[in-house]
């Protein structure tokens, strides 16, 4: 086996929410809400018990209200969202064709894989100093780092999807008269869609993970920048507002992808 440094294959997406066990007691969302309420209660309890400097939920909510009123929260949120979305979109837009290329053509795999594997071992954050020196302190290095994180997660998954397409399925298409182009378009693409979507979700996670660090690069706005400022002024409520906003935005985007996945890959047999 040549360069078999491949990361563990993304499990062909388990359609987790599929087979729900026989319903007993309260429906799942009720438990979810309960868990959130309970978490808030524990948080409030800890804050009241006087864990040093920890703001309570009310305090954070008030600060969130203030930041929302004067528009900073929206501006910061939009600035961060814009970076994540652009970086993520560029990353996946490049990762999907490159992944297909690697899976379909041995030569392309041989040429590209060493680079992908090498850069995968470097945390995207470690690229930041270099990115600043080469690209200045504008938007470019921030988006580039996010792009890199999203690209690397997604490309491996796409590639894995292409190479794991069942050989018999391809043969079945060939004996029905399909040539390379048809096999690619009508077999390889749909068969690897589940892998691509898993790659996109992982890539999205990576993009958010990289965001805050990327915004430490002389940003003028953004959730990461705001949290950095808050750190300087020992403004814990603002840090909490930033964290929660990032979490909520990430969650919403992940749910959107999940919905897309459900729509696009509902044909899968459940294992």
Partner 1 sequence: MTEKISFRSTSRTFDVGGKPFHALQSVDLDIADREFVTVVGPSGCGKSTLMNIAAGLIEPTGGEVLVDSRPVHGPSPERGVIFQQYALFPWLTVRENVEFGLRIAKVGRTERRRRAQHFIDLVGLTDFADVLPRMLSGGMKQRCAIARAYAVDPQVLLMDEPFGALDALTRVQMQDQLLATWGTEQRTVMFITHDVDEAVYLANRVVVMAARPGRVQEVIDVDLPYPRTEAVRLSPEFTRIRNRVWRAVYHQPVQEGLSR
Helix (H, G, I), strand (E, B) or coil at 176: coil
Are 192 and 157 within 8 A, CB to CB? Answer: no
Q: Which of 3, 58, 171, 231 binds partner 1 (CB under 8 A)?
A: 171
Phi, psi of 265 (to 5 degrees): -125, 25
Nearer residue to partner 1 within complex by CB, 138 or 190:
190
Nearest to 127 by CA among 144, 151, 139: 144
Q: Is 271 in the site for partner 1 (CB under 8 A)?
A: no
80: which 2 tokens? Answer: 């961060």
Q: Which of 169, 180, 251, 256 binds partner 1 (CB under 8 A)?
A: 169
Q: Which of 25, 53, 71, 177 binds partner 1 (CB under 8 A)?
A: 177
Q: How far is the CB of 200 from partner 1 (least distance, A)?
A: 18
Rounded Cα gap, residues 202 and 150, in angstroms: 8
Q: Is 190 in the site for partner 1 (CB under 8 A)?
A: yes
Nearer residue to partner 1 within complex by CB, 61 or 182:
182
Cα angle 264, 100, 207 (rounded to 5 degrees) comes to 70
Q: Is 269 in the site for partner 1 (CB under 8 A)?
A: yes
Q: How far is the CB of 8 from partner 1 (least distance, A)?
A: 24
Rounded Cα gap, residues 230 and 158, in angstroms: 39
What is the 8-class DSSP label of residue 14? -
Q: Which of 93, 132, 182, 236 binds partner 1 (CB under 8 A)?
A: 182
Window of 50-58, 74-82, 184-192, 207-215 that interacts with partner 1 by CB under 8 A: 184-192
Q: Could you tell me which residues come within 8 angstroms of residue 210 by beta carbon, excluding any fewer than 6 positions away?
A: 87, 124, 125, 145, 146, 148, 149
Window of 65-73, 139-147, 172-180, 240-248 that interacts with partner 1 by CB under 8 A: 172-180
Q: Is 8 in the site for partner 1 (CB under 8 A)?
A: no
Applying CB under 8 A, the residues found at the interface with partner 1 are 166, 168-169, 171-178, 182, 186-187, 190-191, 193, 266-270
């Amino acid at each position: 086996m040549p360069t078999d440094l491949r990361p563990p294959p993304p499990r062909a997406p388990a359609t987790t929410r599929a087979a729900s066990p026989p319903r007993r007691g309260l429906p799942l969302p009720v438990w979810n809400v309960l868990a959130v309420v309970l978490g808030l209660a524990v948080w409030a309890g800890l804050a009241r018990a006087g864990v040093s400097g920890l703001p309570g939920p009310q305090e954070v909510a008030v600060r969130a209200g203030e930041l929302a009123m004067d528009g900073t929260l929206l501006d910061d949120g939009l600035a961060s969202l814009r970076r994540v979305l652009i970086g993520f979109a560029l990353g996946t837009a490049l990762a999907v064709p490159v992944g297909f290329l690697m899976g379909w053509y041995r030569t392309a795999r041989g040429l590209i894989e060493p680079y992908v594997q090498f850069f995968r071992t470097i945390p995207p954050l470690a690229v930041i100093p270099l990115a600043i020196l080469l690209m200045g302190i504008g938007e470019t290095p921030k988006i580039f780092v996010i792009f890199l994180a999203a690209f690397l997660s997604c490309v491996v998954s796409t590639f894995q999807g292409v190479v794991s397409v069942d050989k018999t399925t391809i043969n079945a298409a060939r004996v029905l008269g399909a040539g390379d182009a048809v096999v690619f378009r009508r077999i390889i693409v749909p068969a690897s869609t589940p892998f691509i979507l898993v790659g996109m979700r992982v890539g999205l996670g990576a993009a958010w993970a990289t965001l805050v660090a990327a915004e430490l690069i002389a940003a003028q706005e953004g959730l990461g920048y705001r949290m950095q400022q808050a750190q300087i002024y020992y403004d814990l409520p603002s840090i909490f507002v930033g964290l929660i906003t990032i979490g909520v935005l990430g969650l919403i985007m992940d749910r959107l992808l999940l919905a897309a996945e459900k729509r696009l890959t509902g044909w899968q047999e459940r294992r």
